[in-house]
Amino acid sequence: MHIVMGASGNVGGAVADALLARGEPVTVLTRKPESANIWRDKGALVLQADAEDVASLRAAFRTGRRAFLLNPPADPTGDTDKTERRTIANILAAIDGSGLEKVVAASTYGAQPGENIGDLSTLWTLEQGLKNQPIPAAINRGAYYMTNWTGLVESVRQSGTLLSMFPADTLMPMVSPRDLGEAAAARLVSPLDDVGIAYVEGPHRYTPQEVADAFAAALGQEVALSVAARDEWEGIFKSFGFSDAAARSYTRMTAASLDDGFATPQAPRRGGVSLAQFVSSAIAS
């Protein structure tokens, strides 16, 4: 049995779908099992578990042999770094004594030690924790999520403008949830010695201008790209409802990603979902 965290979200859901498509038995974890009938209809089992509750996580992990670990994104109205470090500690505590034979964890390009740089440092902490425990651990570092752009669909539709914090010609590694899900599923069913860090991105790298063009094609309207100056970033995050702490962290994470060139590897695992395909599908759904 494969245990999947985060199935109510894009990536965890894609992992569960990919496993079910392979004919693998799947248990999805959710805080609200009464809202998970879609997974029951697909043939998965559903268990209640919460990343804030170590006992519930450990009990769920004990029902399976392998698990996909995804640290849930924290509410940006609070201190995201503090919350996510706590849930990472809970996940690591829950796999201790769980009896799992292998885990696959979602991480990110550019993961690195540090403070107040969002997922770059919190997921690095998860990686280090997994390296320092006995269960074989495969870590998939994902490129920039295509879903980060499609969260702006309604704004783009209404204004005809796509906001970007990256210059128009910045060549960025990007990845769809489906490609992340298939990559994680492949490592969940692979031999126990398939461990360590792998990188996952889409078939090509894209610029923010190409993202605006993909929106224009999918929406059937002109879409202009508006690039925000670096000194505007923190204020923009606050305008989205982020707390001061979260806005500061996301601003520093954005700057580190851009300045490091997204820490792009030379030979990532490449999925098959193009930016145009993903944007078109997301807007149509």
Secondary structure string (H, E, C) spanning 73-104: CCCCCCCHHHHHHHHHHHHHHHHCCCCCCEEE
Count CA within 13 A, CB hemisphere, residue 246: 18
Does 85 fall in a domain? yes
The count of structural domains within the chain is: 1
Does 127 fall in a domain? yes
- 10 Å CB burial of residue 70 (0-12, 13-18, 19+) is buried
Distances in Å between the Cα of 161 and the Cα atoms of 22, 219, 229, 284 are 40, 12, 16, 19
Of residues 31, 38, 32, 94, the one with CA closest to residue 63:
94
> In terms of residue numbers, what domain contains 28?
2-145+175-203+267-273
Give the 3-state secondary structure of residue 192.
coil
What span, in angstroms and rounded, lies between the C-alpha atoms of 66 and 35? 24
Token reading at 22:
């392979």
Residue pair 211/280 in contact (Cβ under 8 Å)? The answer is no
pLDDT, averaged per 10 consecutive residues of the chain (285 residues), comes to 93 97 96 86 94 95 97 95 97 96 97 94 97 97 96 91 97 97 98 97 97 96 96 96 97 96 91 96 87
Give the 3-state secondary structure of residue 6.
coil
Does 248 fall in a domain? no
Does 166 fall in a domain? no
Residue 284, pLDDT score: 85
- Which CATH number characterizes residue 181's domain? 3.40.50.720
Token reading at 104:
């696959």
Does 58 fall in a domain? yes
Residue 110, pLDDT score: 95
Residue 36, pLDDT score: 82
Helices (H), the chain: 10-21, 37-42, 54-61, 80-95, 119-131, 147-150, 153-159, 177-188, 208-219, 233-239, 244-259, 275-284
Does 181 fall in a domain? yes
Predicted model pTM: 0.94
Give the 3-state secondary structure of residue 189.
coil
Residue 211, pLDDT score: 97
Give the 3-state secondary structure of residue 29.
strand
Does 165 fall in a domain? no
Does 105 fall in a domain? yes
